[in-house]
Amino acid sequence: MKIEVLTLFPEFVEQVVKVGIPRKAVEVGALSLSARDIRNYSDGADRRVDDRPYGGGPGMVMEPGPLADAIAAAKTAIGNAKVVALSPQGLPMTQALVKQLAVEPALVLVCGRYEGLDERVTPLIDFEVSLGDFVLSGGELAAMALVDAVSRWLPGVLGHEGSAEADSFSAGLLDHPHYTRPPSWRGEAVPDVLLSGDHAKIARWRLKQALGATFLKRPDLLEELELSRPHAELLKEFLHERSGEKN
Ligand code: 9D3
């Protein structure tokens, strides 16, 4: 996948492919990322790309001209690209959206700063994506989050540890607890089942813990799910064991 990020902070955005999974994605040739400075498309000698809002009010608005030219240049560079603006007004970023975007051959990610983009660039944008209902200073961190999340789904990037993680989230549940050595630490033992070598039993225990954690921490996720009968039974078992511990 080819990604062009349009931003006033290209050196910041480029950091996302310097480490971890996005870096691996670039190394295996599954991803190429280029950050394009919107300021290079300013028509003024001062390189300004923002101006005061018509109608008054605080803050500045990004001018349409430099954005339009930067989008056109990015599309010419990578071809047939979806154009996604990172914006507080966008669709919340979810794993379902990430998976859809990961099959695109090319993406142009438009990062706003100041109060936002001039409304007249909207015909150039396919859709908007938000990181969630809180205020960021601009779209860059959201674009970097999207690049990171998409990288995990590109072919040849993750081994089997990744597919397992993917399974767990596409199942719509939180992860089960994890343990490593030492077997006893500050008086707390690792659950016996994890040392048993019985893989069916371990899988059942992990699913039970995942159902329990989701019920306790993110009941909103469970409501989406329509638990199957066996899953509902496992959750009951989790809650029963937990009430036993507490009393
Ligand atoms: C504080 C200013 N707000 C109106 C009073 C509007 C506003 C404008 C620009 C709020 C945030 C921003 C910059 N944010 C983004 O570009 C952004 C964002 C976000 O703020 N939260 C979650 N996801 C995203 S994606 C892009």
> Which amino acid is located at 170 in the chain?
S
Q: Is 198 a catalytic residue?
A: no
Q: Which residues of the chain have pLDDT under 70?
A: 161-170, 247
How far from chain centre, in Å, is Cα 61? Answer: 26
Closest ligand 1 atom to Cα of 59: 2
Give residue 200's pLDDT: 98
Percent of the chain with pLDDT over 70: 96
Residue 5 Cα to ligand 1 midpoint, Å, equals 17
Give residue 50's pLDDT: 98
Give residue 135's pLDDT: 98
Give residue 9's pLDDT: 98
Ligand 1 pocket list (CB less than 6 A): 86-88, 112, 115-116, 130-132, 134-136, 138-139, 142
Considering the candidates 27, 51, 115, 126, report the single residue annotated as catalytic: 115
Q: Is 167 a catalytic residue?
A: yes
Q: How many CB atoms lie within 10 A of CB 235?
A: 19
Residue 116 Cα to ligand 1 midpoint, Å, equals 8
Considering the candidates 126, 167, 192, 198, report the single residue annotated as catalytic: 167
Q: How many CB atoms lie within 10 A of CB 223?
A: 9
198-214 pLDDT, tens digit each: 999 999 999 999 999 99
